[in-house]
Each structure stands twice: as structure tokens, then as C-alpha cells.
Structure 1
Amino acid sequence: MLPPSLVSTYQQYKNDTDSIAGWLASTAKATGYVSDPLTQQLPKGTSTRLKGKARAEAKKKQASSSSKPAPVNKYIIKIKDFIPLAEFIASKHDISIPNSLITTLRRVIIARGGFSGMLAEKGAIADEISDVNHGYFVGVLEKVQEILKPQTNTTSTSSTGSSPKASKDKSRAGVTDDEFSNQFAGLKVYEPSEDFLNAPDIERPKVREGDNVTYEAEPPSSLEDLYVAVTLLINDINKIRSRIEWIWTNYRDGFFELAACAVTTNTAIDLARKLMEDVVPMFKDHGGLWKVLNQFHIVQVMMKGYEPFSHSPNGADNFNYDTYDIADGTYILTCRILDAFTRVVQPGAIPLYKEGMFGYYDPRSARDSKSGYQKFEEDRVLLMSFFTELMAVERGVGDYPVEDEFLRGIKELAKTKEVPFYLVFAAQIFLDIHYILRGNASRGFETLQMNLQFLDREIEEHFEFHKDLKIDNWPTSHNQMIRHLQAKIQYILGDPVYKAKTQAYHALREPVPASMEPNRILKMSPVLCGLLLYHFRSSTWEIGIRLADAWGSITYSLHLYNSLQSEKLISNCWPDMDLVWAVLGDKFFVGDTPKAPEDYFKKFSLQMGTTAAAFTSKRRKNTALTSRSGPRGIKDGIPVSSMFMNRYRHGTGQVDWTAEHIAQIVDLSLWETEGLEEEGTLMLGQVDTKKLKQKSKSIKANKFSELPPEQLIRALMFALQGEALELALPYTAMHRECWALLRAVRKQCDPLLRQMFTSKYMERETELPFVVGWIFTALWERRDTKLLAEAGVAVADFIRSDGNTVLDLLKSIGVPVVFGGEEVV
């Protein structure tokens, strides 16, 4: 069950209504009320009463399956029965009415009450609202409140209907964070009351103890009910939309990284789709998505004093484009473009967009100065041209590595010829991102292309380095996996979507237009670029960690580097290792970082999976240096980013994310924010180790479970941003650098090593990490620092010439690193 604050606003409203129905029915039944709705209505999925032999057989089956939970009985309470139930309860003068019932009644009345008046006042679709339904539900609730209020536990309710806890929580949370400057945040198609918005903190009335029946209020069916639901839903998803705009504004300004932005954005659309599930089923009874959004838009236009109908400059329709800004918040124009697209989708064919069909998009132009119709033209050109790209993936590319919600929705549209609401939302987000980035929209592709070309070269470097250097615990299957990844990288660089469109033109016996530019889908979609970047970075991250663990290169080089620093035997820093150490924290060492000679050896032995006796000069011949358990690798990292690997790497992860899932994922983060955005003091830093240990011991619910979806998205963005550098680090390059360092150390220390431990100290190059062990053995067993000092000479020389390799590589792929406030060049 979702934490209350993570439930959609409409679901809160429905929970309020159901709790009123449940309390009325349960209380009345417990005090002797007899009526068909309470005694004879069958739960959903049950059959009529059995008799005779059939009843006996049923009892036997029930006894044999007694361990299974009993099915939940569900009763639907009709709205017309609310008043009779209330009157019956009121006649029992010994029944005390809980204040939570009156508070909940009042909250629903206020949340709902304004709709009837607005619809009537503006004459909005009055012929479709029957006299019976118009304002009927509110009247019923008001009558129930009037009947029962005299018998409440206390009549001293607060003026807002909020409990002290709610007031306290609201004061603590504040509203400034939720009111980030944004054009969508200002759009309030209808603002629910504070009582209603505070609902999660207010206790709802409960059914009588021992009553195991689930009660629900009669499902809404009137247009007014639909208007309530759509209004609350639009308010919810516009908050999510606003947070997504915040993400891409910060990306544009250089604060957020592409892959983190893309994963967070697509997750935000997932959450919006989840919120829609409460309301979308109601659309079918009122003409479907297009008709519902159109009516909703008309009401909004009339409420703001505009005429809903006019004539477009070309006379093609009667939409009043002067109301574009209102339409932007009701999703009607985006829905309209998608609806038009369904009519050109033919089975099995890629609908090829002809340049200039709807004009041209000029990102250099000033959107703010455009008329409503000109803005709509931009929307249409961007969407209609991009539909071809997405359909090319759907119809011509069977193995595209990633899928965002826009592509997923287009695939659903292609199969059903219907437009799902989440696709409308995803398409609107696509437009929003373009209008934030304008001429910089293709920057995502440039970043992706640069990174994929780098990874392709990096894989070649890896195979060249290990051409003659092999170990048993790096099997051939690992290399095959790397080659498969390289082939996939080259596949994307080769632009399979362009090839699919080319084949479509050939099938039509038409020449490929000269205007059909390569990689258009990626140039138009920063989200797909970011998801692909995540896909390939997460794959190479895992390969790099496995490689470092198999060879011991990074870990044992760090052990040596740490000891040299602690003993003050080197004066220069190793920037690459300092970076890796800072990013991975204490994942290298077993326990705390060693700071004394005896600890260097012990920690190293534990890391290697050996005993101290393995490195003694008196060890027996052929004594194994490693234990059966093997060495300990680098501890798992990127806890938040790794939770999305199944979906965006393997295509097997869930897509039905709920806010509860995201709250649990964000709670894994090893990063936290300090300061305030509003004051320009916000900073992102790693969680203190002591805090982390306390956090792991805590059994309390995570703090993110109290956040509404739009704030949860913010927390996820920061969590992924914190892990971005760790995910981007080229561990394969760091492995080669560390191996080169170990070679230099062995060369410098070889004479002393032979003198102390004979020539048998290392027989194969694959044993290079053991050189560090022998150096620590001499320090621990003989109290001899000469070997460590010689190693310091080698390390210092190496750092001067090769200590910035990884940092240079990161800079080359657009990931600059800052140490102490200064960028490392």
C-alpha cells in the first residue's frame, strides 16, 4: 500500500469518499440496519448461495484450503443510500459520531463543491449534465453532515478541519520548495482546498471493529464527477511536468548530467502514468480521451473569460489559438496532433514525414514572441517529424537497446490505433524539453556520440593491452561479453533508424531525400540519448569493476599508495587515484583505512584472501598465496543507478513504477543535499560514513516516503547526479594505469625483492599485485622500510608522467572533475 502522501490527489479524494461510505454502512449494519445494499448485495466474483450436497462439498474445499486467506468481500454503497444510513445512525442516540467523519465530510464537500457552481455559471456543456446529477453528490454529503454533526465526539473542530499533526507537518514542510519558478507551477486549473490537500495527515473514519467487509462508494458516472477527477489529475501531473522542466533547465545551464536527467525524466513520466490509472477508466463513459480533454479545455477557456471557438489563420479549424497558453496546460493540442497521427498509421508501414509539410522549426527564433497559432505550428512540426523516427524504431528496428515512455506509447498506438493519455503527457514533455533547450537540443546526441566513440576505442585498448596477458579467473566468456557490447555500440553509431527509413523509401521505389539527416532521432530526443548513455555506461561500469577485481590492479595499487602517503614517502599526489578513491570511498578496504605498518599488511592480507603466514619468508615451498575464498573485490557501488539496470540495460525491468518504489530506491543513496536552492547555497555531497552506519541500523521508514511525487523526483535527480561521476569513470583505463604502476614498482624494487625473498617471489606477470604483499611483509615482519622507500621512488616518478590519464579521458568526454574548487586540467 502506498504511503498516503504518495497517492494521487484524486485517489485521496476517492479514499475520503469510500471511508465515508464504509463508516456509514458498517455502523448502520452493526446497530441493526437492514436493507438490500447491506444484506443481499453479493461481493464481486461470488456466486449465489449453495444448498444440499453442493454446499457440503464447498465446505470440504474450504476446510482443505483453510490456510489460504479468505477472499475480501466488497460492497458498493449507492450515493442515494447515504442519507437513509445517516438518519438511521442518528436515531440511535447512544452512537457517538467520530470527529474524523465530520472532518472528512467537510474536506470532500469543499474539494467538490466548487465544480457544480463553475459548470453552471459558465454554462459549460450544460445539456450533458442532468438535473439529477448536477450538484447532487455535494447535496447528499451536506445533508449527511447536517444529520450527524450534533452527535460528534466534539464540536470544537479547527477552522481548517486539519489536525494539529497536519498543521505541524505543513509548517515543517513549507511550500517554497514546491513553488519553484515555472510557467506550469502557476497553472492551477482548479485549486483544491487546503483541507483536502492536507488529507494525508488527517485520520479517516474506520469501519466497525470485526467488520471484514470492504466498502466503496458508488463509482462516479456524471460529467461533473469526471470533471472533478480530471481537474485533480491535471493538477498532479502538471506538478510533475514542472519538476521535469526544472531538470532540463539545470541540464541546459550545465548543472545536471545527461544520463541522470534522462532516467529521472522517464521515471517521472512513469509516475504520472501511474497517477492516471485512477482516472483514465472514467473516460470511456464520456467519449474517450479526445472528447474528455476537449470538453475540459472548453471549460477552462470559458472560466478564464475566453471564447473557446474562433478561426485559425488558414481557416482549417475553429480552435481559438489565442487560448494556446491554456491549451498548453490541458494537453488538448498535443492530444489533437497525436489523434491526427493515428489516421496516417498504416499496418506494417513507416509513415515517412516529408520536410516542410507543416512548415519548418527554427530553434533560433524567439518562442515568447510567437502567436498562439505559431506556437502550435512549432508543436506540430516537431511532433509529426519525430513520429516518423519513433515508428521507424517500431517497424524497422527490432533490437533498439532502450525504450522511453514516448517510444513505448507510440508502440501502443501503432497496435491499438488509440492514443493513451500517458503518451500525450510524454509527447508534451518532449516539446517542453525542446523549448527549454531550443538550439541546444542536439547537445545530448553530441555527448552520446562522443562517449560511444570513446568506449569503442577503450574496448580496443583493453584487448590490445591483454593480447598476451591473461589469467584463469578472466574467462573467454567475459571477453565475448565485451565484444558483444562493442558491437552494440557500433550498431548505434551506425544509425539503424536511418537505415530503416532508407529501406522504407526503397520499398516505395522513391529516392531518399537529401534532407533526411542521419541520427535524427537522437538529435531530437535528449531523453533517448541519456538512456542510451546510461545503458552503455552502466555496462562498461560493471565490466570495469569486474576487471579490476579479477586482476587486483586498482585495489592493491591503492593499498600501496595509501601506505606511502601515510609514511610520508611521497610528496606528490596521484590525481587519478585520488579521484577513484574519493568516488568509491571506503569500498576498497576491509574495515577502516589502514594508517600503521602492521595494519597495511593485515588489511592487504584480508583483501587478498590470504593469511599472514602466506607471506612469511619461512613459508613452505609451493604454499598457495591465496585462500579458497579468493580475494575480496571492490564493494558494490552506485546503489541508486543500479536499480534501473534491468529496465534500461536488459529490457526486463518493471515499467509500472510507483512512488513507493522510487522512495525505497532514493533511500539507498549515499549522497545528500545541503543548503537551499533559493539562496544559491545548495550543495551535493557524500553521506558521512558515521551517518551511513547509523542509517543502515535504523529500522524507521525512510524519509522519502513522506514526499509527494514531484518532490520525490527532485530527490531521485540528486541521487542519480551524485552517482554520475562514479558511473562514468573508465575503470578499464584505470586498471591499465595501475598495472603499469605495478610494473614500475616491481622493476624498481626487483633487486631488493630478490635479496629478501629469492627470485621465486614472482614467477609470472599475473602475480604483480603480490609485489605489494612482499613490500608489506618486509615492513611488518622485518621492520625494514627500504622496500617501501624504493616503491615510493617508483610511484613518485610514475605519477609525474602518467598520473592524470583517467582525468584527461574524463575531460575528453565532457566530464570535467573539480578538486578543492579548481578544475583539474
Structure 2
Amino acid sequence: MSSDNVKDRLTQRPEDVSMDSKASNLANRFEGLDIQEPSEAFLQAPNATIPIPTDGKPEVDYEAERPHDFQEAYFAFDLLLQDLRNMQTVITRTWEGYRLGMFDLVSASLMTNCAIDFARHMEEEIQQLLNEHGGPINILSQIYAALCVLNGEDAEFREQPGDPLNFRTYNIAESLFLPTFVLLSSFSPLVEKRNLVPYKAGYFGTHDRASDRSQKSARDRFLEDKQVLLEVLPEFLYLHRTVPSPEPHEDEITRGLRKMFDTHEIPLWLVFACQIFLDIHHGLRDNVQKGFADLTNSAKAIENSIRLNLDFHSNLRIGNWPKQNDRAFKALLEFIAFWVDSDFSQPVKERLKVWRSSESFKLMKWHPLLCGIWTYNLKARYQDLAVVFQGAWGSIMYSAHLYNALRKEKLLARQWIDMDLVLSWHDEIFVGDPPSQPADYLKRFSLSMGYSAASFARNRRQTAKLPESKTGPKGIQPVAHVSRMFFDRYCEGSGQIGFSESDLEKILGGPIAENDKEDEHEEGIISMQRNSTTSKRKTPVKKHSRQLTIVELLETLRNTLRGEAPELTFDYLELHRICWRMLRLVREACDPHLRKIYGVEYLEDETQLPFVVGYIFMAVMGTDQLGKALAQKDDVVKSNLLMSAARVVEGLIYPLGGSLVVQLLAKQGY
């Protein structure tokens, strides 16, 4: 249909059509009909009878299928466009905040990736309806043409030969993501099976990232996007050819482009995703490589700590952490070496002579979102390993018990900042509130070591050995609970999308179900269902759930992830090494007193260092297990034990030794 016909259809009024023309048209339809009278035999024939089934029911039940009309499809599509624009706005603000230091790379990237997930899910929900009318891109084109007509423009008009669209209507096209679709559709046909699309940097010109985009004309804005997108798309293709299968740590833009390369299909959600890619460039401008810098800094910090730890424990082993367990750390180092320290696509580029030294790491430098997902993968896996490792040694937990006792006894003048931060995150260290009375120090310590609470019952029969707890020694658990919701997906490749109701409770910081408690056992998944009475989509749709717009959910998720950033980044291996050195010094300082009480062989080797804290508590408290030997010792010995331990800890945290891990956080921007 031409634009003139569209315009006529949209502007013609019913009263403009004369009654004469209507009558003439009606008469013309019956010209040539030959009307014959029915015969007498036909008129006298008996009425026909319809056979009735024996069961009294019709044999066939026919129901006419009413196809969805375009109005219904348009309404659903308009809601989708509204959601996409709203998500685009919050994403743009988030990356602007990242540039200014308000948000970290991980929180911006995870939120953005979730938004693209939502876009895909929302499109898939109405895909069948849209396909009945030519698909989302076809409907988008029709809307664009109609809007051009309403603004007195022709969608097919071109100011210059070769123009991809009417630049006088560029703002309308941008609001519908059409320029990005034009760029994708120009690149997709170039991709064939196993081929690459060598691209010479600057073929379409180079743009000044420091320039003010808001001052550019529509043509120049389109040219800038063309220069960015068509220059980086070959880099995505190199990744696809180098590593054919998607990796868990990939973002949704990369996954969507992989599918486009294989199928040449360009769904609307992928157009939206690539528009987000361009928006990130628009917002960061000459800071676009900041994402790659943050990734490399995080990787370097993790790599250095792992190597220091492997060296620290080269000759120090325990049964809970045999040498083969170090393979997990080495696998993480190999990941860093392949994905971060080297350009994984370089071998392909060199073999096909499309590589230049100035273009190395180009995809990562131009794709901050991908860098953010990789950074999350590294931090989450490293935290997982570090927490398990220190738990096997017991270093942080038992040092925390000693530090708490010294603080409660007012033997320390300064705070151990690193340990205070850990205590604020891990209530499980003391199996309840921190003990504040001398009688509770040993009890809580023993519970953490895995001895049963029945050991401390008043009527318990005293034996030489404390009964062990069925659950074994306690350990600290990984924190950053909302951030860890993404662990299975981005670290283990589960492919999970969407949020369960329990996930929403974590994001919102509390239960979202305030009534209908009997339904709490059900897991409510976010559904992007539309409400026909409103243009705003609410999620989730369970009747007892708190209602959120998609933008509110994304903003809450982003802010929560930002608040958890120090928890996700905290270096537990560094604190483990600090605590282990402290326990060595505490044993050395307290050894003369402990020998007097327990004899020269109270510790078999260094792997039992955490037991020093238990021996100190037992001596100070004069427990039954020590028997008469301890009862005969004077209080001077007990006091000297605590004072000696306090001098060691005080020396550790003065002047800056107590905040070494916090300083590492500060170097990474926290």
C-alpha cells in the first residue's frame, strides 16, 4: 500500500462519501443476475428432518475460530514498546551513573542483562499473536509509516540517494528502534556458514567519542551508530567462530547475535539489545573502555591473591584440603589467562590476516556489558572457593572468637576493621549473638568447632571427651545473597531466567507476600502478562504478591546489587592469611603459659593452630575438663594468656594492619 493510500485511508471521513455513490456501488454488484422462480414441486415438497443421535447429543460440535484482529495485536505490541522504552530509560541512567561512579560494573551489567531477558520474554509471550500479522518488525514498519503520514511525511522519502530512511523522521524511527534494525539487517546477510567478515577499521569513518552527540544532526547520529555497530559486529563473529558454543559468562547481546549469525533472524528483542549496546556507547563516550579496565583490575587482584595463597600453602597442608583441591584455583587462573589476559580471537584473526596489534581486545574494550558479566563470574567463583578454603582451615572463624573475647574484656584499644566487617555479614560465626560474658566464650567456640550443645548442660555426666555435634564444625557461608542468585546461570550455565518469589524477597529485602499465607509454599515466577485495563505491566501477577512495575524491579535490583558489591569483592583468602599469621604469633606469645598448663605437646603441628584459641578459653574459664591441675594454677597465668594474645592482636591492627582487606576494596572503588 502506497503512502498516498495510507494517508487517504487515515484521513477520509464517512460523510465525504455521497449516498449516490453508495447506491451506485450497491447496484453494480447485482448486475447480470438471472432470477428464476421455484417450481411447484419444490414448493410442495415436505420439510427435511435432521437425524438425532441416540444419546441425544449432536454428533459434531462446530465452533468458529475467530482470528485475532489487528487492533488486538497492535494494543499488545504498543504495550511491549512502552516497556522497552521504559527499560531503555532506566538502563541509560544506570550506565551514566556507572560513568560517574554511582554504580559499579557488576550491578549495571546484571541489571541490564535482566532487562534484555525481560524484553525477550515479553516478545515471546505475544509472538504468536504478532506472527498472525506479519511479525513484530512488519508491525513496527506499519506503525512507522502511519506516524510519518500523521506528521505530514512520506516514510519512503530519501533526501539523498542511498539513504536508508527518511532522516526528517529520524526521531520517530529512533523511538521505534528502526535505525538499529536497519544496521543489523545490513550486516546479517554478509554472514555465511563458517565465514568471517573482515572489516577494516575506519571503513565507514571514525567518530570522535569526546564529541557532543546531542548537537549532532540525525544523519550524523546515524553515521556514528553505523561506525560503532558495523565495526564491532565482526568482533562478535570472531568470538562465535573461535568459541562456537555459548559460555555461561556471556551477556544476552552476545547470545542473541550468535543466533542471528546462524539463522539470520532478527527478533525485536535483539534489536532492543543492540540499541542498548549503542546507548551504553552514547553514555560512556570516551570512557567506554572503563569496563575493560575494571575487569582487568578485578582479575589481577584475584590472580595475585590466588598465587600468594598457593605459595603460602606450598608446604602447609591439612586433611580437609588436600593438594588436589588446588585444581579449582588453578582452573580459575586458566580462565583469567584465556579470557582476560589474552585476546581469545587473536589466533583466528592472525590465521585469516584480519588481525592488527592495535585492535587486540577490541570486543572487550567496546563491550562493557560483557566485561561486567565476566567480572561477576570471576568474583562469584573466587568468593565461593575462598570461603570454602578458609572454612577448611578455620582461620577466620576462630580468630573472630578470640578477637571478640579480647574486645569484650576491654583488652584492645583499637578495632580490627577487616574482622568487624566480616562479623557484620556473618551472624553464623557465633551461632547466635556474639558472647559477652566469660562463661560463654568457650561454649560458643566449642559449638563452632562442632561440639554438641549438650556438652554444656548442667546435669551432663562429665567425660574426658566432648560429644561431637551431628552437623560437624560450623562454617561461614557466602554472602551477597541477591548477587548469588545469578551464580548458577553465569558461573555454571544453568540457563535460568526470570525470578522466583523467593528471589524477589531477596531483592526487596523482605517477604513480598503480606496475605494469603496458605499459598506461600508455591513458587511464583514473574509473568509478563498484560492487564487489559492498564498500560502498565505489573510483576509478579500472583494475587498475594506485591505489585511492581518492570522499572521498579530493575531499579531495586540494581541498587541492591550495588549495596552488595563490597560483600562480593571481599578477599577472604587475604584475611585467611592474615588470621593464620596472627594465630602463629598468638601461639608463640602464649606458648610458655600453655606449656605450664597442658604440657609440651598440647599441639601436634601447625595445622592445629586454631585450637590455640580453645586452649586459651579453657584455661581462662577453668573448665571441668582441665580437672584439678588447672584449678591449682593461679589467676596470673590466666591473665597473662589473655594479655599476651591481646598484645599480638593489637600489634596486628596498628597502625593499618587491621584494614588491609578494606584497603584492597578501596583500590577497586568501594
Could you state the TM-score of these two structures normalised by the residue count of structure 1?
0.65
* Residue matched to 2:491: 649
Q: Call closer, same or farther: CA 1:397–1:305 in 2, change over 3 Å.
A: same
* Residue matched to 1:723: 564
* Residue matched to 1:488: 335
Task: Give runs of aligned pairs for residues 172-187 of structure 1, distance below 5 A.
Answer: none
Partner Cα distance (1:357, 1:773) in 2: 71
CA shift for structure 1 position 525? 1.1
Verify the 8 A CA contact 1:662 1:716 in the aligned structure 2.
no
* Residue matched to 1:339: 185
Verify the 8 A CA contact 2:209 2:285 in the aligned structure 1.
yes
* Residue matched to 2:39: none
Task: Give runs of aligned pairs for residues 726-805 of structure 1, distance below 5 A.
Answer: 726-781=567-622, 784-800=638-654, 802-805=657-660
User: How well do the aligned residues superpose, as a CA RMSD in angstroms?
Assistant: 3.3
Residue 250 (1) aligns with residue 97 (2): yes
CA shift for structure 1 position 229? 2.7
CA shift for structure 1 position 758? 1.5
Residue 478 (1) aligns with residue 325 (2): yes
Verify the 8 A CA contact 1:122 1:299 in the aligned structure 2.
no
Report the AA paired with residue 659 of structure 2. Answer: N
CA shift for structure 1 position 254? 0.9
Partner Cα distance (1:547, 1:122) in 2: 73
Report the AA paired with residue 506 of structure 2. Answer: L
Verify the 8 A CA contact 1:663 1:705 in the aligned structure 2.
no
Counterpart selection for 1:556 from 371, 377, 398: 398
Verify the 8 A CA contact 2:451 2:467 in the aligned structure 1.
yes
* 2:601 aligned counterpart, secondary structure: helix
Counterpart selection for 2:475 from 633, 636, 646: 633
Residue 523 (1) aligns with residue 365 (2): yes
Q: Call closer, same or farther: CA 1:613–1:231 in 2, change over 3 Å.
A: closer
Residue 534 (1) aligns with residue 534 (2): no
- By relative contact order (CA 8 Å, sep 6+), the higher-ranking structure is 2
Residue 571 (1) aligns with residue 413 (2): yes
Partner Cα distance (1:449, 1:423) in 2: 28
Partner Cα distance (1:346, 1:434) in 2: 28
Task: Give runs of aligned pairs for residues 8-47 of structure 1, distance below 5 A.
Answer: none
* 1:537 aligned counterpart, secondary structure: helix
CA shift for structure 1 position 350? 2.0
Partner Cα distance (2:338, 2:6) in 1: 54
* 2:590 aligned counterpart, secondary structure: helix
Q: Call closer, same or farther: CA 1:393–1:512 in 2, change over 3 Å.
A: closer
Report the AA paired with residue 402 of structure 1. Answer: H
Counterpart selection for 1:811 from 654, 666, 670: 666
Verify the 8 A CA contact 1:663 1:712 in the aligned structure 2.
no
- List gaps (5 residues or longer) in structure 2: 14-62, 521-541, 624-634
* Residue matched to 2:441: 600
CA shift for structure 1 position 563? 1.1
* Residue matched to 2:506: 668
Partner Cα distance (1:347, 1:290) in 2: 25
* Residue matched to 1:466: 313
Verify the 8 A CA contact 1:392 1:501 in the aligned structure 2.
yes
Verify the 8 A CA contact 1:643 1:665 in the aligned structure 2.
yes
CA shift for structure 1 position 613? 10
Partner Cα distance (1:705, 1:612) in 2: 41
CA shift for structure 1 position 703? 8.8
Q: Call closer, same or farther: CA 1:125–1:632 in 2, change over 3 Å.
A: farther
Q: Call closer, same or farther: CA 1:220–1:401 in 2, change over 3 Å.
A: closer
CA shift for structure 1 position 250? 1.8
Partner Cα distance (1:634, 1:129) in 2: 71
Verify the 8 A CA contact 1:310 1:318 in the aligned structure 2.
no
Q: Call closer, same or farther: CA 1:650–1:326 in 2, change over 3 Å.
A: same
Larger Rg: 2
CA shift for structure 1 position 719? 2.0
Residue 218 (1) aligns with residue 56 (2): no
Q: Tell me which stretches of 4 or more aligned residues in structure 1 moved more than 6 Å.
A: 125-131, 612-615, 618-621, 697-704
Verify the 8 A CA contact 1:556 1:769 in the aligned structure 2.
yes
Q: Call closer, same or farther: CA 1:766–1:652 in 2, change over 3 Å.
A: same
Task: Give runs of aligned pairs for residues 240-279 of structure 1, distance below 5 A.
Answer: 240-279=87-126
* 1:760 aligned counterpart, secondary structure: coil
Verify the 8 A CA contact 2:586 2:645 in the aligned structure 1.
yes
Q: Call closer, same or farther: CA 1:702–1:542 in 2, change over 3 Å.
A: farther
CA shift for structure 1 position 247? 1.7
* Residue matched to 1:311: 158
Could you state the TM-score of these two structures normalised by the residue count of structure 2?
0.80
Counterpart selection for 2:82 from 207, 224, 235: 235
* Residue matched to 1:330: 176
Partner Cα distance (1:710, 1:780) in 2: 57
Partner Cα distance (2:11, 2:501) in 1: 41
Report the AA paired with residue 644 of structure 2. Answer: E
**Identity of paired residues, percent?**
34
Q: Call closer, same or farther: CA 1:261–1:743 in 2, change over 3 Å.
A: same
Verify the 8 A CA contact 1:334 1:428 in the aligned structure 2.
yes
* Residue matched to 2:427: 586
Partner Cα distance (2:349, 2:590) in 1: 61
Q: What count of residue pairs does the alignment treat as equivalent?
A: 580
Partner Cα distance (1:296, 1:322) in 2: 16
